[in-house]
Structure 1
Amino acid sequence: MPSLPKLVCIPGSWHKPTCYDKVTKLLEEQHGFKSVRVTLPSTSGNPAATFKDDLDAAREIISKEINNGHDVVVVAHSYGGVVGNSAIKGFTLKDVKSQTQLSTTGHVIGIILIASGFTLTGLSFMDPLFGHPPPAWRVNNETGYAELVTPPRELFYHDVLAEEAEYWVSQLTTQSLKALFEGGEYTYAGWQDVPVWYVGTVEDRGLPVLVQRIQVGMARELGGIVEHRELQTSHSPFLSQPQATVNIMAEAVKAFSGQPDGRKSTNERRALIETPKAVLWQPLTWFKFGLPLLFGRVLGRSFLLFRGGKRLWRSRFGLRSV
């Protein structure tokens, strides 16, 4: 019997990998899935830490696991999605050179993105925002850190019980600006190489769910194979709804590895987890899901046309300008 895939969990900005403790414990107890968590150098108190440092930390762990013969599923939250998408380059099935390699090493078989984004090759985390921070945080050039402006509990954990939320607020650390604004030369659209399960967060006060839905539509238009689920939670569903998050994660891992999910759906599970799609006889879903996903596809198509036009221009006029 083949070994179960290993989960490599990458946290988001300001967060330690311990934020995954609840879900990794449940995944092992209920499904036998073991996890390895990545500590990001950019959140370790060093303002000089770069995106490349974060990328190297994730790739080191992924490389170790696949060289030990394990297939790997990358789990990434928020900013961690840029790291996770980029880190799988060279580690997927499409990169395996021979059947000998396939039999002796593992490979990355999928990505689970939680309230995150779909990285575009060559763009840093802040490039899609044209370098302008969102209202939740600000640039402090004196310290070299991104500083939260919005109260952290409101931003990350508003649906977590007050005492527990305060504990997680106390666990937040610094976030290097360099990792957010630089490193575009190292980013990679790994979601185009493997299937993705996207966990959306409907009550998110950090990354609005409308933006999340648009991103899913865009990724699908650009060729991504994306399964989309949503939870009625804050930016941190692994803390506020760990069991529902685990249900989605386990289903995703089994889908990536070709294992049937034999569990029966419960009323609780159906109530918490939604599969976003527009249903013909439910007009509300056209506006809730259909339009954002469609707009995302339009953006994706526009990007494809722009990229195609750019290549055509270079092929026709590039040599003349040299």
Structure 2
Amino acid sequence: MSSTIKPTIVLVHGAWHGSWCWRFQIPALEALGYSVEAVDLPSVSGVKGTTQFDDAVHVRSVVESQISMGKRVVVLAHSYGGPIASAAILGLSGKGVLGMIALCAYIFPGGMDQGAVIRDIGGLPYVLWDAPSEGLFLAKDARSLFFPPDVPADRVDWAVPQLRPQSMAANMGVVPPQAWQDESYDGRLGYIRCTADVINPIEQQDSMVMGAGGQEKWVIRTLEGSGHSPFLSRPHEVAAALQEIVNDFEAKVGQEQGGIGSLSS
């Protein structure tokens, strides 16, 4: 697989979202020459009991499908999608996966009991549990959580009706084994920070990155003043940051191969 051909970007959305949320991001990536595949996670299908493991299996099937066609893959994951993408690419370093980029996403260690953590902090005040039915949950005020301060009003109006209930089991369960904890991915992990994020504040983003190895493991870029949905507010900036990170991934692979390989442009 030649590194002169740009990898396919597999897009993994966050909780309550779907592949629809990348509507403006996809053309921005395609304009830079990337092929794109966007997934829909089972946990947002309206079926209670679906877990992070179910989501990771689905994403892995998409990644492996791309690899089977001779393509290299970079996974771009938003919010809840961070641990899902990281689980999905476990063991695929050197087998077609170039790396993973987290977009203001959560970074959790494999085996963490996410439900226990949520209970210890007194729950999540911004959600409605068992809504609209048992085993599902919704954000109380999506407009004030996901979109401030920089998503245009017309895009907020377009996005809000498309949000869907999330399986509680996905957020209250155990985190699957994580690829970011495998040293084979060191230098091929990216994090795009969003400094005005309401739901995943920048201090929390930074704490998670530092706890996961910091700049020794992660290539970091920053979107100043961006909230939790830069794929709606700043898709071209996200694409530019992604390209810089992918270039660093390519350089890392070239070093690992003894200098053989070229940067994607």
* Shorter-chain TM-score tier: 0.7 to 0.9
Secondary structure at the residue paired with 2:23? helix
CA distance in 2, matches of 1:199, 1:191: 18
Aligned counterpart in structure 2 of residue 21 of structure 1, from 12, 20, 23: 23
Greater relative contact order structure (CA < 8 Å, 6+ sep): 2
CA distance in 2, matches of 1:211, 1:167: 28
Instruction: Please show how residues 167-316 of structure 1 align to structure 2 within 5 Å.
Output: 167-184=158-175, 186-190=176-180, 192=182, 193-194=184-185, 195-220=188-213, 225-231=217-223, 232-258=225-251, 259-260=262-263
Instruction: Give the TM-score of the pair, scaled to structure 2.
Output: 0.85
Query: AA paired with 1:180?
Result: N
CA distance in 2, matches of 1:116, 1:144: 24
1:155 paired with 2:148, answer: no
User: Displacement of 1:124 after TM fit?
Assistant: 4.5
Secondary structure at the residue paired with 1:155? helix
Closer, same or farther: CA 56–253 of 1 in aligned 2, 3 Å: same
Which range is displaced more, 78-87 or 246-255? 246-255
CA contact (8 A) 1:120 1:187 kept: yes
Instruction: Please show how residues 114-153 of structure 1 align to structure 2 within 5 Å.
Output: 114-130=103-119, 132-140=122-130, 142-149=133-140, 151-153=141-143
Query: AA paired with 2:8?
Result: K
Structure number with higher helix proportion? 1
Closer, same or farther: CA 200–128 of 1 in aligned 2, 3 Å: farther
User: Displacement of 1:107 after TM fit?
Assistant: 1.6
CA distance in 2, matches of 1:124, 1:66: 31
Structure 2: which 5+ residue stretches go unaligned?
252-261
The percentage of counterpart residues that share the same residue type is 28
Task: Report the equivalent of 1:37.
Answer: 38
Which range is displaced more, 233-242 or 253-262? 253-262
Instruction: Give the TM-score of the pair, scaled to structure 1.
Output: 0.71
CA contact (8 A) 1:113 1:198 kept: yes
Larger Rg: 1
CA distance in 1, matches of 2:68, 2:112: 29
Task: Report the equivalent of 1:79.
Answer: 80
Q: Cα deviation per residue 1:91-144 (whole Å; 9 max; x = unaligned)?
A: 112xxxxxxxxxxxx521111101112220112444544564322213227521
Structure 1: which 5+ residue stretches go unaligned?
94-105, 263-322
Between the two proteins, the alignment pairs up a number of residues equal to 246
Query: AA paired with 2:145?
Result: L
Closer, same or farther: CA 125–62 of 1 in aligned 2, 3 Å: farther
CA distance in 2, matches of 1:196, 1:175: 27
